[in-house]
Amino acid sequence: MHLSKLRPVLAIRLFADDTKAFGPGVATLLHHVDALHSLRAAAAAMGMAYSKAWRITKESEALLGFALLDSVTGGKNGGGARLTPEARAFLARYDAYTAALRAASDALFRTHFPEEG
């Protein structure tokens, strides 16, 4: 019996000791914040509760040791959020690292499962 074509799927999570500090969920959230300039809008775009988005951002910040977002509360022009320079640099490194790991994984997969490639 032949199943659907197999492929590897990697989810890269970074841990501080035994606690997850950063992963694909926070990375996606930050990409949405960067595009939408709002944590609330980013959470909504992901179908995530704002309270969860706020919580995982704060947990990640505590473990990484730097702020991920610069936030502005409401007012005449409304509130908003943007990535801090540290967050932007970290996210770029995370994205490059995960892309390199996926490329290596794909090459290894083709070596070990040539019938699937």
Mean pLDDT of 96-116: 94
Whole-number pLDDT of residue 4: 76
Q: Which two tokens stand for residue 33?
A: 């914040």
85 belongs to a structural domain: yes
pTM recorded for the entire structure? 0.89
CB contact at 8 A, 62 and 56: no
Q: Quick: pLDDT tens for 52-101.
A: 999 999 999 999 999 999 987 765 566 799 999 999 999 999 999 999 99
* Portion of the chain with pLDDT greater than 70, in percent: 92
Q: Which two tokens stand for residue 114?
A: 């040539």
13 belongs to a structural domain: no
Q: C-alpha angle with apex 38: 34 to 39, nearest 5 degrees?
A: 95
112 belongs to a structural domain: yes
**Res. 111: pLDDT tops 90:** yes
d(CA 72, CA 66): 17
Number of domains in the chain: 1
Q: Quick: pLDDT tens for 11-45.
A: 999 999 999 999 999 999 999 999 999 999 999 99
DSSP string, 49-98: -HHHHHHHHHHHHHHHTS-SEEEE--STT--EEEE-HHHHHHHHHHHHHH
108 belongs to a structural domain: yes
Whole-number pLDDT of residue 79: 73
Full domain range(s) for residue 48: 21-116
9 belongs to a structural domain: no
12 belongs to a structural domain: no
CB contact at 8 A, 73 and 54: no
| Residues 6+ away with beta carbon under 8 Å from 6 | 113, 116
69 belongs to a structural domain: yes
Say which CATH number the domain at 46 has. Answer: 1.10.10.10
27 belongs to a structural domain: yes
Confidence of residue 2 (pLDDT cuts 50, 70, 90): low
